[in-house]
């Protein structure tokens, strides 16, 4: 099975606790299980990671680029201001789909701009955890 990294940025490890009215009541562990199962169904092997550390997330993106591994990325708050993350994504060597559980365009104005979207293959947002499933299906349909 072709590997795919499912990378998650700050505060996503607190799913189920953090703003359940926005992000739902499912936990990060629920997300990990869903991603692994959805990946298997489309012939991928998902490695799911989460960090609150921008440098660690950038290192994982470099690793994916070096190994030519596709990525599903929820950059979380880094979406709106991390040019370092954007530059790491620009080095990608395989598809990368930006995902969001909520729809940033329907939220606070500061969330309306993604500095990473222009260097991603595409963006899926607003479908809850299903955003990840859709992204994994999209990656399965693309060549690495």
State yes or no: 87 annotated in a binding site: yes
* pLDDT tens-digit readout, 51-74: 999 999 999 999 999 999 999 999
State yes or no: 86 annotated in a binding site: no
- Which pTM value belongs to this model? 0.92
Spatial neighbors of 11 by CB under 8 A, at least 6 apart, are: 18, 52, 76, 77
Decide if pLDDT at 22 tops 90: no
State yes or no: 66 annotated in a binding site: no
* pLDDT tens-digit readout, 3-19: 999 999 999 998 788 77
φ, ψ for residue 119, nearest 5 deg:
-110, 5
φ, ψ for residue 96, nearest 5 deg:
-135, 120
Q: 2-140, superfamily in CATH?
A: Dehydroquinase, class II (3.40.50.9100)
State yes or no: 62 annotated in a binding site: no
State yes or no: 101 annotated in a binding site: yes
* pLDDT tens-digit readout, 97-135: 999 998 877 676 866 689 999 999 999 999 999 999 999
Alpha-carbon Rg for the chain, nearest whole angstrom, is 14
Residue 112 among the catalytic residues: no
Give me the sign of the Cα torsion angle 82, 2, 43, 15: negative
Question: 31, 35, 67, 7: which is closest to 137 by C-alpha?
Answer: 35
Q: Residues of 10-44 as b/e, b for ≥16 C-beta within 10 angstroms?
A: bebbebeeeeeeebbebebeebbebbbebbeebeb
Please tell me which residue in 23, 62, 83, 112 is annotated as part of the active site. 23
Sequence spans of domains, the chain: 2-140
Please tell me which residue in 81, 83, 100, 132 is annotated as part of the active site. 100
Residue 81 among the catalytic residues: no
């Amino acid at each position: 099975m072709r590997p795919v990294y499912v990378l998650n940025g700050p505060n996503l490890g607190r799913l189920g606790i953090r703003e359940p009215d926005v992000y739902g009541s499912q936990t990060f562990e629920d997300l990990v299980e869903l991603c692994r199962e959805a990946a298997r169904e489309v012939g991928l092997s998902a490695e799911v990671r989460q960090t609150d550390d921008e440098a660690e997330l950038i290192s994982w993106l470099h690793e994916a680029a070096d190994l030519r591994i596709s990525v599903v990325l929820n950059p979380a708050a880094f979406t709106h201001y991390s040019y370092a993350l954007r530059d790491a994504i620009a080095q990608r060597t395989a598809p990368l789909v930006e995902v969001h559980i909520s729809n940033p365009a329907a939220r606070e104005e500061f969330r309306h701009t993604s500095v990473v979207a222009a260097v991603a293959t595409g963006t899926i947002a607003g479908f809850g955890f299903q955003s990840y499933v859709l992204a994994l299906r999209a990656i399965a349909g693309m060549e690495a």
